[in-house]
Chains A and B, each alone.
Chain A
């Protein structure tokens, strides 16, 4: 517990330092770019809870993100709520869908599970596209308030919230790794039949993972309408969310929390730089090349290359 608090304190400190540094630059662009990078830190860590620890590849990242975003849109049509409340609501909805998806699909393994999650994204996109209340195929405008107390600009406020979420996701990820839950996850990843035969309640553990993973993605998606100010299904359900969220942990390393964080920071920042200096179209090329490079040269990711495959529980 002491160890947990110390780690949490360090992460909070790092987050505060980062936020102060972004403030010090005094340019809103830093916040716009930083928001996207932080969003990917959350998505990559959330994906890694199911994909890295338990070994189930989720290709439907965009579905959970969009669920969060459209939960926010639907709620704001009914009553204007503060953004943190919307994030919580988005997390609850996406978490429940994660639970349901897990229950329906976790008897599938490997590539079949991945295809089922991709199908989920397609089905949800079709539903949202035909749901006029949240804008349907035409899309919906989200007007963000001009000014927020304390933070000044709304984008700084959004970055603050995303940073807070990132702190939570990282802390939860590490708590999983150091707990019996993480041990059970690894057992499932290595050999599900042997895990069950060793007393691991595999179905329950997998449901915990799909729920947590989905909920964090939904929370990350809730502010999206205010970030893009105009949200349409084809952008909310963009496949690049899934591609990036899978590529980042794979490049960084999937066995420990700092793998996805490292991957998201490197790839996310590289994409921002390239978008400004060359073109946003080059992003996908970078992801592809890096992915090929790492799969061939460093299958354990950056942290494997640096010999940091995570804490071995002493013993």
Chain B
């Protein structure tokens, strides 16, 4: 198992390098000069501008610039935010826990809904329960998160006044009250993101269980006299989860995309809303760093999926 994890880590590295290369090439191809603003500013003499260009190596060959950027990123030197006047790495470190909290809880909610519903629907295919679940799943992943978010705000914040619609990090309370307020403000974003994912996961789980449940070993387990619960949990679900884990890992980029939208709707101070504000404020160092952090998070979650994969199916880790 240890060797398997190490191997997956080594495979993950090239894809991180590839992502960083894509990002850097984008930045290099983009029209516009990062020092363009200085050129129009008459207070800065041309010699200073030339010296700055040499200092930041704007005129070096692109390969040299990429290597230098990569080394700086690895050293944790991510630049300085133009608009917030703070180091980019500090800014991102402040924001990442909030995003991870919202994304993590919504994934737990999504799996907690999708697993039981999908398994139950697959055990009785084309029953009324299955058809209702299927219809709900279709409605669920056809409702874009930005619309469900607005709908929930309209119902629970504007009309009923039950839940706050602005997410706050500095809640003026302590102890249980603090937890309660935090829980209340997290309900809507987590539900929006979680149910959207749950809709597609339900379909994955259903079709994966349907593929497994007709296998001969399931019939064997039943004819051995095992009770139905044991057959489903130990024989069917464990094997059905293997393709589901792959599909969930493939959904990770979409999950973080959804996180950007929900953070924007509910004004959650995570890295998604940081990206939007940075784009609107032309804050290039922050934009590049946040995009790279998103890429890293996707790779890390894929790695976790690989490890779960190896645990679910030990054959994979020996190959």
Question: Do the two chains belong together in a single complex?
Answer: no
